[in-house]
Amino acid sequence: MRFVTEFRDPAVAARLIREIGTLAARLERGRENPIAVMEVCGGHTHAIFRYGLEGLLPDIIEFVHGPGCPVCVLPMGRVDDCVAIAARPEVIFATFGDAMRVPGSRKSLLQAKADGADVRMVYSPLDALALARRHKDRHVVFFGLGFETTMPATALTVLRAAREGIANFSVFCNHITIIPTLRALLAQPNFGIDGFIGPGHVSMVIGTAPYRFIAEEFGRPLVVAGFEPIDLLQSLLMVLRQLAEGRAAIENQYARVVPEHGNAAALAAVAEVYETRPTFEWRGLGSIADSGVRLRAPYAVFDAERRFAVPDIKVADPAACRCGEVLTGALKPWACAAFGGACTPDTPLGALMVSSEGACAAYHQYGGMRGAA
């Protein structure tokens, strides 16, 4: 596979790991705490585990797995809303595959499907629109989920539905935006993260400029990274270099994909279709101002939330869940009392056990030899 294998070259990895080791040894002097680097994106969490990166790095370096798994941070009440919409006889509920197993307070979409709801797995919102064209006697609801990565595709689908005058299609919009959440995390007292590995796909859309406050106001380095192991190692090295030189800047390791100013066409579609919600609830983190979007008034007919009176009841996470502490790096997944016992990928209690991109699920699946075993 060209353009993939180059980024998994063991010789290049070995050289990067040596450089990281040298730099880490230098940073370790006079330091008590580990060097904590948060990878914001769930895709990065997945890659770190899939390639076993943690085991290759010096002990002083600690990855903290951030809030960038959209499936994980979806609150249970919103899943209940999905189930309620999907249960309507006229509705075909179209969703990305990994949202199917997310538990609501009573059931997941997978269970709702077994109970008779017409839930279909799609790979793109355009597939959902195609379903609406094929089933004119039904109403197709697309479960819009994800950060800026998936936001433009949903927006473009809504624009196309409007252009084609498709009346039996709407979006249950749960798109979220990462910047306000990073700000909320950074503003916490004793936030012990030394630097960030920034999300590659989100940045492909929004560019690198929106992260500047992280360096300018909070003095933390952030390096936007690709998803291959070499990308991650190189980005980590770039973060460590900044720390060693006492700098804090926004740097772009993923320049082959991420332009400085993002994707203008995608941003235009996003601005046309969505408006910011006053607040949005994140599972494990609570309500965060300006962190979610919904459809703007001109597209109200495509808004499933306005079309169906969704219950929108807030459901608290089980008391045993300490997902918020894991998300902020205060607690390691295996140190949670529920980990591997009451909370497993089979029967997830908390957000982070839900998707393979969640930190707890990743430790459970890939890293069972560490900590918990």
Partner 1 sequence: MNIPFDATPRRPRRVSQTTVTLAHGGGGTAMRDLIEDVFLETFAGVAHPPAEDQARFDLLALMTLGDRLAFTTDSFVVDPLFFPGGDIGSLAVCGTINDLAVGGARPVALSCAVIIEEGLPVDTLRRIARSMAHAAAEAGVSIVTGDTKVVARGACDKLFVTTTGIGVVRAGLHVGIDRARPGDVVLVNGLLGDHGAAILNARGDLALETTIESDCAPLHDLVATLIAAAPGVRMMRDATRGGVAAVLNELAEASKVGVRIRELDLPIRPEVSGFCEILGLDPLYLANEGKLVVVVPADEAPAALAAWRAHPLGREAIAIGAIVAARPGRVVMETCFGGERIVDMLVGDQLPRIC
Q: How many helices (H) and strands (E) does the chain have?
A: 14, 13
Question: DSSP state, 332?
Answer: -
346 binds partner 1 (CB under 8 A): yes
**CA distances, 272 to each of 60, 107, 154, 156, 175 (Å):** 46, 34, 12, 10, 15
Taking a C-beta distance cutoff of 8 angstroms, is the pair 125, 154 a contact?
Answer: yes
Taking a C-beta distance cutoff of 8 angstroms, is the pair 146, 43 a contact?
Answer: no
Work out how close the CB of 9 gets to partner 1 at its nearest, in angstroms, rounded to a whole number: 8
Work out how close the CB of 241 gets to partner 1 at its nearest, in angstroms, rounded to a whole number: 21
135 binds partner 1 (CB under 8 A): no
Per CB under 8 A, the list member of 4, 297, 309, 319 interacting with partner 1 is 4
Which segment (98-106, 180-188, 216-224, 254-262) binds partner 1 by CB under 8 A?
A: 98-106
122 binds partner 1 (CB under 8 A): yes
Of 273, 266, 268, residue with least CA distance to 159: 273
- Quickly tell me which residue has 């089980």 as its tokens: 318
Instruction: Determine which helix (DSSP H) or strand (DSSP E) holds 4, and give its type and residue range.
Output: none
292 binds partner 1 (CB under 8 A): no
| Rg, C-alpha atoms of the chain | 21
From the centroid of its chain, how far is CA 267? 19
- Residue closer to partner 1 by CB (options 99, 197) is 99
* Dihedral angle, C-alpha 24, 326, 211, 70, nearest 10 °: 130
Q: In angstroms, how far apart are the furthest CA atoms of the chain?
A: 69
Per CB under 8 A, the list member of 39, 80, 98, 251 interacting with partner 1 is 98
How big is the site for partner 1, counted in residues (CB under 8 A)?
48
- Residue closer to partner 1 by CB (options 215, 232) is 232
- Residue closer to partner 1 by CB (options 13, 248) is 13
Q: Under rule CB under 8 A, which residues in 19-78 are in contact with partner 1?
A: 42-43, 46, 49-53, 55-56, 70-71
Which segment (72-80, 94-102, 299-307, 319-327) binds partner 1 by CB under 8 A?
A: 94-102
Q: Which spans of this chain sit near partner 1 (rule: CB under 8 A)?
A: 1, 4, 8-10, 13-14, 42-43, 46, 49-53, 55-56, 70-71, 96-101, 110, 121-123, 127, 145-147, 149-150, 201, 229, 345-346, 355-357, 364-369
